[in-house]
Amino acid sequence: MGKTTYKRLKGSQSFRQRLLLSTLSSTPIIIDEIRADDMIPGLLRHEMSLLRLFDTVSDDCVVEVNETGTRLKYKPGIIMGGKNLVHNCALTRSMGYYLEPLLLLGLFGKKPLSIRLRGVTDDPKDPSVDTFRNASLHILKRFGVPSEGLDLKIEARGVAPEGGGEVLLTVPNVQTLTAVQWVEEGMVKRIRGWTFSARVSSDFEHSMRFAARGIFNNLLPDVHIFNDHKSGPQAGKSPGYGITLVAETIEGCYISADTTVSCGRTDETGEVDEEKQERKPAEDTGVEIASWLLQEIEKGGVVDSTHQGLLFILCALCQQDVSKVRVGPLSPYGVETLRNLKEFLGVTFSFRPDPSTATVVLTCVGSGLVNLSRKLS
Amino acid sequence: MAADELMPTHKSHRNPKSGPTMKKKSENDKKKRGVPDNKQQNPRAFSFTSADKAKILKLHAAEKEQKRIHLPTIDRNYGDPPPFVVVVQGPPGVGKSLVIKSLVKHFTHQNVPEVRGPITIVQGKKNRIQFVECPNDINGMVDCAKVADLAILLIDGSYGFEMETFEFLNIMQVHGFPKVMGVLTHLDKFNDVKKLRKTKKRLKQRFSTEIYKGAKLFYLSGLIHGKYSKLEVDHLSQFISLSLIKFHPLKWRTSHPYVLADRMEDVTPPEKIQMDKKCDRNVTLYGYLRGCNLKKGTKVHIAGVGDYSLAGVTALPDPCPLPSAAKKKGLRDREKLFYAPMSGIGDLLYDKDAVYININDHLVQYSKNDDEIGDPTNKGKGRDVGEDLVKSLQNTKYSVDEKLGKTFINLFGKNIISTSSERKLEEESSESGDDEAEDCVMDVESSDGETKQKNEIHGGLLRRKAIFKDEGGESDAAMGSDQDDVEGEEDVESDGDESEDGEDDSASDSQELDEDDVEEAGDRVLGNISKWKEPLKEKGTKKNLNLMQIVYGASGSSATTEENDDEDFFKPKGEQNKNLGGAMNVGYVNADDCSRFINYGNLKNWKEKEDCEIIRNRFTTGDWSEAALRNQNSVPGDEGGDFEDLEAENVESGTNQNEDSEAVERRHQKLALRAEFDANNPTYSEAKELGYVDKLKEELETRKQMNMLELNDLDEDTRIEVEGFRTGTYLRLEIHNVPCEMVEFFDPCHPVLVGGIGYGEDNVGYMQARLKKHRWHKKVLKTRDPIIVSIGWRRYQTVPVYAIEDRNDRHRMLKYTPEHMHCLATFWGPLVPPNTGFVAFQNLSSNQAGFRITATSVVLEYNHQAHIAKKIKLVGHPCKIKKKTAFIKDMFTSDLEIARFEGSSVRTVSGIRGQVKKAGKNMLDDNAQEGIARCTFEDQIKMSDIVFLKAWPTVEVPQFYNPLTTALQPRERTWTGMRTFWELRRQHNIPIPVNKDSLYKPIERKIKKFNPLVISKKLQEELPFTSKPKNKPGRKRPSLDVRRAVVMEPGERKALAIVQQLKLMNKVKMIKRKAKEQEKRKEYEAEKAKKEAVFKKRNREERRERYRTEDKQKNKKMRRNQD
């Protein structure tokens, strides 16, 4: 007991989840061979930024990175939370990258978390902040997270590469999460959308909206897409536009799809031209995302493929009751999550494929994680 | 009959028809029947008088009601409950073992020669009891209090309460109060009936004040032939079984798994011990799992040893199973089982892969002839091998003691098939047989579990039979899915899985059909090893791929660094790649960390109408009935059709299912359905107007039913994987590398407690607790004096710092704990969740007279640092004053110190505030000493002023904790750790350091001598004449004013005379009164003296009495200690 025993891991895969689960289960970890054979070895900038974020939110955590950045030693501290925290995210990944672990981390803190993140708000790789606001937070509520104090406020947009966006995330504390029985997807009753444009003409938004609505016309009349044209300091530093679509079902499931197009210049001049040539018209982007949303709906499940990871972690963090959820075909990220959950929390899911709908029903017994850092009053 | 005839016939009893007896009886009768008595003494007494009063009463009633209500907790024990732990505790020599022996004898008709370790017995159709005798030292008491479900406190009636009882009560109170029952023994030592009755009453009163009003206290009046009387034991046992029915779950226990080991084996390879006697040992501990489910990979704490990770966990067949739930009253004699491996009386020892039957020496002689008669039922054809083995064993000369038993594990463990005798063991032995084979063929690590392998064997057998059915099912599924499978690769993947699943289902169906066959096959298999190896081998090569295996891989975790493990790890991922089709780089260790998985490439053209039609029903604009169908199909257990399926799977998983459990299942299902119905129709459920608590209770009940339904849906193997081992299973825990002392000094009389550790509880940090010195502990506790705490499962020594919270949220350090108040204690140690209680000791030795528990406490929070401040007051004097600036000396010792305090505020005694500026060395002369600070004040100060600086430096809490390793030393030796200041001073003969300045001295104040007032000449001149000092020469003759004679007027003279007379009168009166008063006082004093004398006398007598009894007690204790 005197010496801390570290869990040894390899590679940079599922870096966020490893850090998150290590912190929640207070297991110290050592990650070896992080991109050891790559051209750019070691931890990347966003990963370092994430480590800093963990350091901001928690107290007494020990992070050691070797010179090349290929080896990380992480000893989790106590999650403190707190108000008026600020974090500057690295611009290599968007806010979605940081928000995914931060949401869960904030739930199990000592004090309610209120943090201001600065950087890129939207990019095509990670879920956009609109998705978080309108889909992810609803998933949390399902698990007994109180809705007051759970909010994401977008104060400024920022698109890659320069960023400049700003969001304010507030997460309340919970004692435990309650297990869910969430197998019914229900029928889609409404589709809502959010488009934004920053430092570009709002025409992009209009054409995206128009195109997206065209796809849904066959299926549902209740489609509403809001636009959000930003200018000035609220628009961040780079030009770009994006769209987020969320379908809400009668059972309270939120299926989302989003993307962002950045019109900005990159540092390497060679890439600029290529990008410009490749860039699709805004209508195509709208059609693509609308189709993607329909694809997600077709796949079934109570969440979309992007949120599978979040859903599984939430199930695993519940009280020691049985959670049952239905998802569409497992995404690679979801599978990775399941493995990590077994690794850190010892939570094993059982699967029951449902052939008639091509979905999978997952069952697990929660790990019974309790927010221990909360003070007894 | 004859006697009856001879007897004269008695008059039959006639009920009285009138008179007082009849009145009384009729009244009683009315009361019994519940007829209300309308006649009230004072009808106005309970009428409505005041609205305010009524309101208050109502409020009071409501408050009382709310106080009664507890927050309902969910009970997550789904299987048979583990045996209840009944701890029998009492001071030495009170008859603990005898009580256990009598109770065991009563329940099982077995004689226990010696009580060592837990004794498990089957007490009723649904109850089992584990008796534990609490050892006399405080460590054992602490461990016992942590596991007890019911504590029987034995009290020597002839002696009265002893400290041990109260200590144990206090320990239990802190660790969650289980049920408590008191038993008075040694009551036969009273000769005087009246005294006995009085003592009983007194003890009962004391007992009930200590626990709760109406706490049960039993009397065991005396011994008959060295045993307690049968009737009294019978009563006691009845109350034990009654009080074990309902429990309030204790929070710590329901959230942590724990095992009270009833058997321990050393399984270190003997060569290793031969090489090095002091080598670290591998031990296995056996016991029922309690608390909550135990998952593989949980870390455990062995009380008194330390933290270990479990090297292997195996569920063993229950050595003391509950009887089958047939409808009958009471227990048959053969069901009154009994298991006490440490006491060495149970004939059977169950190990992971074998069952050892302890046969007495004289039985060994007969067993050759005996084995034919032994088990007529299990007589198959191919049992020759086992028989031969057993016979060959019998031929060897050995004595059946435990030591040799241990060597058997190593020598013959692989070969013995224990099918020799004992009908009861059929099933278990078949399992064990399976496991051995698995050992031979696959060489699988023990931790992977025997049940899994067993299942696979079953699967292997089944697979052959199910092949023809299987194909049909598969093609069916494929047919069904082909239609909607257009091009999406994910769909293909899931279809594949589904077909797999179909295969499984059909397999299970077939199993249901011919389960008997399978069992037969199993029996046959048992006899002949070579036969049943074959399917196993087959099984080994062919793997049944389902989604679970795809996701989790066939084995292991990715966390280990061993090369071979990594290979295992990669394999499934490759498969995963293939199956997910385009799942890109999941197996790649440096894969991109991105939650989104998008390839827009294969998007359908959703503009087309027919494409839209596929998902039309997923929208509210579609067909609602069809959409509802989709959901219904998917929710298993919603329809009647699924019910059969469920049952089939149950049959597959459990071998000894019967109608009763099915009925239970059905009931659960009904409940769940009802709950669902209620949830769907809120109007219906709301009509009942339930209270909040009732609603909560109902919610929890539904949740429980849901859990059970879902978990029973899984097969045994997956279930253990998903939820861990259930409470109530008999487990074998293998623990590696424990110190050899644990084995060497193992004492079966001391309970071995193995407790699971939750997340983050193996980390160390600061904890803040609300602590109160125990009111019976004589001294206050000193900050930084080590205390021994028992917290969670652990016991360790730590160094606390006491503090109290000031109004401004500052935690001010206290040198000593307050006497009758809570204070905060901050200490360093392994973390426990907030709201965990703990108890503190200073000394663990058993031969101290006082109360050993020093404090009780509850953890409030934990933190990585402690914010405790202490007050310091630096005192200085001015050495030079320049207007509002002053140079202060004696406050600091160096300029560096001043730099630290720059800007802090100072003040003088008179309240002039100021600020420390800088070191004032350069402003004074060159040879000024260091540590003179320049301060500025709001006004000029004086040289005689004293300047204070008040500061709050943080106090460091020592990072010290020392686990108590009481199991690694002889139990009778007292554990010693860090010593307190007092002990150290006493041992080294160091006096308490005294600061002379802190001593109180009589204050000597010199009388100030003031010089005469001198007024300067100039001033004198300027003064007005009246104020000027006048120099008059002294007069020789007094002035006229003095000298003149006064002659009174006649009226004046008269008045004066009267006044004089009155004065005289008054004087005489006063003298008289004084004399009277004195007389009275004298009288009073005399009376008082008399009273005092009487009081003194009585007091002395009392004291004498007390001293005498004390002396007697001391002598008695000494004698006992000598014994």
Q: What is the DSSP letter of A6?
A: P
Q: What is the mean pLDDT of residues B482-499?
A: 37
Q: Where are the alpha helices (DSSP H) in B936-977?
A: none
Q: What is the DSSP letter of B760?
A: T
Which has the closest alpha carbon to B754: B274, B310, B157?
Answer: B310
Cα–Cα distance, B128 to B730 (Å, whole number): 13
Residue B746 CB-density burial (10 A; 0-12 exposed, 13-18 middle, 19+ buried): middle
Place of tokens 């009833």: B262
A242 residue type, one letter: G
Q: Which residues pair with A163 in a beta bridge?
A: A159
B936 CB-near residues (< 8 Å, 6+ apart): B884, B885, B886, B914, B915, B917
DSSP annotation string for B443-467? ---GGG-HHHHHHHHHHHHHHHHHH
Cα–Cα distance, B729 to B732 (Å, whole number): 10
The ipTM (two decimal places) reads 0.91
pLDDT at A316: 94
The encoded tokens of residue B613 equal: 């039609």
pLDDT at B679: 66
Q: Are B745 and B971 in contact (CB under 8 A)?
A: yes
B189 CB-near residues (< 8 Å, 6+ apart): B157, B158
Q: Enter the pTM of the model.
A: 0.73
Q: How close A203 gets to chain B, by Cα (Å)?
A: 23
Cα–Cα distance, A116 to A124 (Å, whole number): 22
Statement: residue B828 has pLDDT above 90 = yes
How many CB atoms are closer than 10 A to CB B599? 9
Judge: A355–B703 Cβ closer than 8 Å, yes or no: no
B359 pLDDT band (50/70/90 cuts)? Answer: low
B470 pLDDT band (50/70/90 cuts)? Answer: very low
Judge: A335–B551 Cβ closer than 8 Å, yes or no: yes
- CA–CA distance from A324 to each of A146, A353, A362 (Å)? 21, 13, 6
Strands across the sheet containing B961-963? B811-814, B801-805, B822-830, B764-773, B853-863, B837-841, B787-791, B794-798, B961-963
Q: Are B637 and B709 in contact (CB under 8 A)?
A: yes
A214 CB-near residues (< 8 Å, 6+ apart): A287, A290, B607
Sign of CA pseudo-dihedral A325, A330, A332, A338? positive
B548 pLDDT band (50/70/90 cuts)? Answer: confident
B-chain residues near A352 (CB < 8 A): 501, 636
Q: Which letter, b or e, does each residue of B499-518 get, where b requires 16 or more Cβ atoms within 10 Å of its Cβ?
A: bbbbbbbbbbbbbbeeeeeb
Cα–Cα distance, B866 to B602 (Å, whole number): 58
pLDDT at B1122: 82
Supply φ then ψ for residue B818, to 5 degrees: -65, 160
B499 residue type, one letter: S
Report the largest interatomic distance among the alpha carbons of chain B, rounded to a whole angstrom: 157
3-state secondary structure (DSSP) of residue B841: strand
**Alpha-carbon torsion angle B287, B288, B292, B294, nearest 10:** 50
Judge: A357–B634 Cβ closer than 8 Å, yes or no: yes
A287 residue type, one letter: V
A-chain residues near B293 (CB < 8 A): 320, 365
Q: Where are the alpha helices (DSSP H) in B714-760?
A: 716-723, 740-744
Cα–Cα distance, B89 to B131 (Å, whole number): 11
CB-CB: which of B557, B597, B723 is closest to A365? B723
The encoded tokens of residue A346 equal: 């010892």
The encoded tokens of residue B481 equal: 């899915």
Judge: A363–B830 Cβ closer than 8 Å, yes or no: no
Q: Which letter, b or e, does each residue of A180-208 get, where b requires 16 or more Cβ atoms within 10 Å of its Cβ?
A: bbbbbbbbbbbbbbbbbbbbbebebbbbb
Statement: residue B645 has pLDDT above 70 = no
Cα–Cα distance, B407 to B398 (Å, whole number): 11
The encoded tokens of residue B933 equal: 């600070």
Q: In chain A, what percentage of residues exceed pLDDT 90?
A: 60
Q: Are B218 and B183 in contact (CB under 8 A)?
A: yes
B369 CB-near residues (< 8 Å, 6+ apart): none
Q: How distant is the alpha carbon of residue B706 from its chain centre?
A: 28
Judge: A352–B636 Cβ closer than 8 Å, yes or no: yes
Cα–Cα distance, B256 to B380 (Å, whole number): 46
Judge: B760–A25 Cβ closer than 8 Å, yes or no: yes
Residue B457 CB-density burial (10 A; 0-12 exposed, 13-18 middle, 19+ buried): buried
CB-CB: which of A291, A331, A367 is closest to B603? A291
Question: Tens-of-pLDDT digits for all 377 residues of chain A?
Answer: 456 789 999 888 889 999 999 999 989 999 998 888 888 888 999 999 999 999 999 988 899 999 988 999 999 988 999 999 999 999 999 999 999 999 999 999 999 999 999 999 988 889 999 999 999 999 999 999 999 999 999 999 999 888 899 999 999 999 899 999 999 888 899 999 999 999 898 899 999 999 999 888 888 889 999 999 988 889 988 899 999 999 999 999 999 999 998 887 554 444 444 455 567 888 989 998 999 999 899 888 999 999 999 999 999 999 989 999 999 988 889 999 999 999 899 899 999 888 888 899 999 999 988 888 877 76
pLDDT at B722: 87
Supply φ then ψ for residue B1096, to 5 degrees: -60, -40
The encoded tokens of residue B922 equal: 């350069």
B-chain residues near A292 (CB < 8 A): 598, 600, 603
Cα–Cα distance, A61 to B864 (Å, whole number): 9
Q: Which letter, b or e, does each residue of B262-286 get, where b requires 16 or more Cβ atoms within 10 Å of its Cβ?
A: bbbbbbbeeeeeeeeeeeebbbbbb
B490 residue type, one letter: E
B-chain residues near A342 (CB < 8 A): 552, 557
Q: How distant is the alpha carbon of residue B322 from its chain centre?
A: 27
Q: How distant is the alpha carbon of residue B225 from its chain centre?
A: 40
- CA–CA distance from B886 to each of A130, B922, B927, B950 (Å)? 64, 14, 18, 18
A-chain residues near B588 (CB < 8 A): 11, 13
Q: Domains of chain B by range and CATH?
A: 84-255 (3.40.50.300), 759-869+959-988 (2.40.30.10), 872-951 (2.40.10.190)
Judge: B634–A349 Cβ closer than 8 Å, yes or no: no
Which has the closest alpha carbon to A295: A249, A335, A329?
Answer: A329
- CA–CA distance from A349 to each of A21, A315, B654, B724 (Å)? 16, 10, 21, 12
**Alpha-carbon torsion angle B242, B246, B250, B253, nearest 10:** 80
Bond preceding residue A161 cis, omega within 30 of 0: yes
Judge: B596–A305 Cβ closer than 8 Å, yes or no: yes
Q: How close A302 gets to chain B, by Cα (Å)?
A: 12
Fold that domain A188-299 belongs to in CATH: Dihydrodipicolinate Reductase; domain 2 (3.30.360)
Beta strand pairing status for B348-350 and B764-773? unpaired
Q: Which residues pair with B919 in a beta bridge?
A: B933
Judge: A219–B590 Cβ closer than 8 Å, yes or no: no
Strands across the sheet containing A72-75? A7-10, A29-32, A72-75, A62-65
Q: Are B262 and B342 in contact (CB under 8 A)?
A: yes
3-state secondary structure (DSSP) of residue B1066: helix
A-chain residues near B834 (CB < 8 A): 372, 374-376
The encoded tokens of residue B1074 equal: 């004084």
Which has the closest alpha carbon to A115: A136, A101, A131?
Answer: A101
DSSP annotation string for B815-842? SB--SSSEEEEEEEEE---TT-EEEEES
pLDDT digits (tens, 9 = 90+) for B168-191: 999 999 998 888 999 999 888 888
Judge: B834–A292 Cβ closer than 8 Å, yes or no: no
CB-CB: which of B481, B618, B758 is closest to A187? B618
pLDDT digits (tens, 9 = 90+) for B53-102: 889 999 999 999 888 888 888 888 888 889 999 999 999 889 899 999 99
Q: Which of the two residues, B965 and B502, has the higher pLDDT score?
A: B965
pLDDT digits (tens, 9 = 90+) for B678-700: 666 655 444 445 688 888 889 99
Q: What is the C-alpha radius of gyration for chain A, rounded to an integer number of angstroms?
A: 21
Q: In chain B, what percentage of residues exceed pLDDT 70?
A: 73
Q: Are A311 and A135 in contact (CB under 8 A)?
A: no
Cα–Cα distance, B707 to A364 (Å, whole number): 10
3-state secondary structure (DSSP) of residue B957: coil
Q: How close A264 gets to chain B, by Cα (Å)?
A: 22
B841 residue type, one letter: F
